Amino acid sequence: IGSEEHREALDNCALIISSQADNYVVNYFGEHSDWKKKFVFLQHGVTLHDLSAWLNFKNISLFVTTTNEEWESIVSPQSHYRFDDKVVKLLGMPRHDKLLTMNQPEKIILIAPTWRKYLSTKEIDKREFLESEYSRCWSALINSPELYDLIQKYGYRIVFVPHPNMRQFLDYMECPDYVRVFNYKQESLQEVIARACILITDYSSLAFEMALLCKSVIYYQFDVNCFYAPGMHTYRKGYFSYVDNGFGEVVTDAKQLIEILNNYLLNSCQPPQKYQLRMRNCFPFRDGKNSERVFSEIEKLVTLQRL
């Protein structure tokens, strides 16, 4: 990115196809250069929050969705999005095709927090980060003696996947030797998901990847009362309710979390029937043809462009 070859290719292309919709992808040259190209938005996760305030300013020609509820939340007349069903297509996420073939669960507990907007300011320092509720709660969990006792008792390993924005603060956190920190530059997140048995997250859409593979999820939402407050994040609360639609129990304190995790490990991390049903009903496609459907729709865009 940034090379002369990249700039020339981007300047001359007819379509931009990406899982990202940030300006460095779609508006690289500024001055709304993205509006001169057709943009295919593959998405990098199932949209469960309301991202309309951000995405409505993008010139999206094909908007790929994965679940019926996600598609409906965007094209519905009641939604805040400006896109209709001519642009938003229910096709399935392309990378899910490979994920389904990779599924080989091992005794791995995946811990993957999302990020918080209030920690993204340039002025925040080491002390402020360590004193934040976010840092204190996640640090306390991965250093918990009770968590260590559980993995020793049941023979599990822990992989901690920090949000990319969290990497700059990792050196500040004490991470015990028995917790392996995921390295984005050297590892594949798809492979880690394929090998994990259970996910502990707060609000991450990674839970949908686990649900696709019918694997267990626990939501640790210690700040649920303020998470959607104005200024706390870049999006608004969407159609998805973690309690009514989620793929696992929602807990607000570490003690609850350890108790529920113990029950899961005791039962080889099998999701309860209630959540298995939600997982099965969530995805209309598990046929390995998501990429084929997306490619077909892109071909239609190319054909229209030539006419």
Reported confidence tier of residue 230, pLDDT bands at 50, 70, 90? low
Q: 202-232: buried (b, 16+ CB within 10 Å) or exposed (e) per residue?
A: bbbbbbbbbbbbbbbbbbbbbbbeeebeeee
Separation CA 296–CA 273 (nearest Å): 36
Name the token pair of 226: 């303020």
pLDDT > 70: what percent of the chain? 95
Q: How confident is the model at residue 123 (pLDDT cuts 50, 70, 90)?
A: low
Region 49-61 average pLDDT: 92
Bridge partners for 88 per DSSP: 63
* pLDDT (0 to 100) of residue 150: 98
276 vs 174, more confident:
276
pLDDT score for 304: 81
User: Longest C-alpha distance within the chain, in Å?
Assistant: 65
Of the pLDDT bands very low, low, confident and very high (cuts 50, 70, 90), residue 240 is: very high
* Cα-trace Rg, the chain: 20
How many CB atoms lie under 10 A from the CB of residue 137?
Answer: 18
Judge whether residue 305 has pLDDT over 70. Answer: yes
DSSP annotation of 49:
S
- Binning pLDDT at 50, 70 and 90, where does residue 169 land? confident
